[in-house]
Amino acid sequence: MLPERWVLASASPRRRTLIQLLGHPVELLPVSIDETPAPHEDPAACAARLALAKAAAGARLAPDALVLAADTVVDLNGAILGKPEGVEEARAMLQALRGRPHHVHTAVALYHPWQDELLLEVATTQVWMRSYTDEEIEAYLATGDPLDKAGAYAIQHLGFQPARRVEGCYAAVVGLPLCHLARALRRWGWSPPEDLPTRCQSTLGHACSVYPDILAGEENRRSKNHEGPGGSLTRSR
């Protein structure tokens, strides 16, 4: 049994839109943590650590609630591309990604207060960027959109449309892998809406071929049990 109150430890409007597709009321509870990668940190491990830290911060603010948290890291050949600090850095990121493949790791951490248990899922998606022009980069920078995005881009941006191919969960690149989240919640006895994949595809305008394997637990399986606030959740701050 899950708490009636669910909170999303995020201020992201993209995650807010996606999590509403679960069909359960979710409160937004923005948290502030240090998102600086550790020296030589593996990108997927960085995403997991930061999601755990956000879940820990959310649990302290809402100790009676089911806490959901996520973090997204863009991985270019092992280099972590976070949110750019300004236009120059955003331009450099977009130029570095242009015409090349990279990986996007989105970790989702869920904390159950009654069971003092944490679940972690990490979704990894490979993205091939198209060979957009310098003029397209400048037009996109002028929108201001890249400045609050990991890797300086939103894959779903209709004006820029930076990707030519995606292999894996598209929603993970947007910021919240819904089927991975639903898979984790199912381990606590919660049943996701049967039409969740349809809702996700309709909202994002992207046809998905991987959701059956994800929901069956056969793709990107990195789910783990963790201790609650007295254990690894607290130590992940």
The set of catalytic residues is 71
- Residue 164 parent element (H or E): strand 163-167
CB 99 within 8 A of CB 137: no
Residue environment code for 87-123, b if the CB has 16+ CB neighbours within 10 A, otherwise e: eebbbebbebbbeeebbbbbbbbbbbbeeebbbbbbb
Residues in contact with 59: Cβ distance below 8 Å, sequence separation at least 6, in sequence order = 67, 111, 113, 228, 229, 233
DSSP assignment, residue 86? S
Residues in contact with 87: Cβ distance below 8 Å, sequence separation at least 6, in sequence order = 141, 147
CB 42 within 8 A of CB 24: no
- Cα separation of 108 and 98, whole Å? 27
